[in-house]
Chains A and B, each alone.
Chain A
Amino acid sequence: MDTSLSLSKPNTKLKSVSSLRQQKLRAAMWFLAPMVTVLFCVAGWPLLRSIYFSFTDTSLTDLYGGQWVGFKNYLTWTTLSSGRTIFSGTLADPTWWNAVWNTIKFSVVSVSIETILGLMVALVLNQEFKGRGLVRAAILIPWAIPTIVSAKMWGWMLNDQFGIINHMLMALGLIDSNVAWTSNIDTAMFSVLVVDVWKTTPFMALLCLAGLQMIPRDIYEAAKIDGIHPVRVFFHVTLPLVRPALMVAVIFRMLDALRVFDLIYILTPNSKATKTMSVVSRENLIEFDKFAYGSAQSTLLFAIIAIFVCLYIWLGKLNLNGDTQR
Chain B
Amino acid sequence: MTSRSKLSLAMLIAAGTLSLNSGIANAAEVTFVSGKGGKELELFKGMVKSWEDETGHTAKIIPMPKSSTDQFGQYRLWLAAGNADVDVYQTDVIWAPQLAEQFIDLAPHTKDIVGDHFPSIIESQTVDGKLVALPIYTDAPALYYRKDLLEKYQQDVPSTWEQMTEVAQSIQDQERAAGNKDIWGFVWQGNAYEGLTCDALEWVKSFGGGQIVEANGDISINNPKAISALNLAKSWVGSISPEGVLSYQEEDARGVWQTGNAVFMRNWPYAYALGNSDDSAVKDKFAVVPLPSGGDHGVSAATLGGWNVAVSKYSKHPDAAISFARFLASKEIQKLRALEFSRLPTLVSLYSDSDIEKQQPIISQWEDVFLQAVPRPSAPTRVKYNEVSSKFFSAVHNTLSGNGSAEENLELLEYELNELKGSSW
A interface, CB within 8 angstroms of B: 41-42, 45-46, 49-50, 53, 59-61, 63, 88, 159-162, 178-180, 182-185, 268-273, 282-283, 286-290
Contact = CB atoms under 8 A, between A and B. Distances in A.
B223 interface: no
A162 B257 CA distance: 13
B17 interface: no
A9 to B, nearest CB: 44
A270 B102 CA distance: 28
Contacts of B4: 46
Contacts of B394: 270-272
12 contacts: A42-B3, A63-B5, A178-B243, A182-B247, A183-B190, A183-B243, A185-B401, A269-B246, A271-B246, A272-B398, A283-B390, A290-B387
Contact of A289 (B102, B256, B383): B383
A54 to B, nearest CB: 12
Contacts of A270: 191-193, 394, 397
B256 A287 contact: no
A102 B47 CA distance: 47
Contacts of A290: 387
Given A161-B261, A184-B243, A290-B387, A269 B192 contact: yes
A278 to B, nearest CB: 13
Contact of A287 (B72, B244, B245, B419): B72
A282 B390 CA distance: 13
B69 interface: yes
A161 B182 contact: yes
Nearest to A289: B383
Contacts of B192: 269-271
A269 B189 CA distance: 11
B244 A185 contact: no
Nearest to B2: A49
Contacts of A50: 1-2
Contacts of A182: 244, 247
Which 9 A/B pairs are nearest by Cβ-Cβ distance? A160-B244, A183-B247, A180-B244, A183-B246, A180-B243, A270-B192, A49-B2, A288-B387, A289-B383
A162 B2 CA distance: 42
Main SS class of interface, B: helix
A88 B415 CA distance: 14
A160 B237 CA distance: 13
Contacts of A286: 73, 76-77
Contact of B397 (A41, A271, A287): A271
A42 B398 CA distance: 39
B170 interface: no
B390 A287 contact: yes
Contacts of A160: 242-244, 247
Given A179-B243, A185-B403, A288-B390, 20 more contacts: A46-B3, A49-B2, A60-B76, A61-B101, A63-B80, A160-B244, A161-B244, A178-B243, A180-B247, A185-B401, A269-B192, A271-B398, A286-B77, A287-B69, A287-B72, A287-B76, A287-B386, A287-B390, A289-B387, A290-B387
B364 interface: no
B117 interface: no
B79 to A, nearest CB: 8
A41 B255 CA distance: 46
Given A61-B102, A160-B244, A46 B2 contact: yes
Nearest to B397: A271
B401 A183 contact: yes
Contacts of A271: 192, 246, 394, 397-398, 401
B98 interface: yes
B16 interface: no
A248 to B, nearest CB: 30
B115 interface: no
Given A61-B102, A185-B401, A269-B247, A41 B386 contact: no
Given A180-B247, A286-B76, A269 B386 contact: no
Given A63-B5, A287-B72, A161 B242 contact: yes
Nearest to B196: A269
Contacts of A183: 190-191, 243-247, 401
A161 B255 contact: yes
A81 to B, nearest CB: 16
Interface in B69-127: 69, 72-73, 76-77, 80, 98, 101-102
A180 B5 contact: no
B233 to A, nearest CB: 15
A180 B184 CA distance: 14
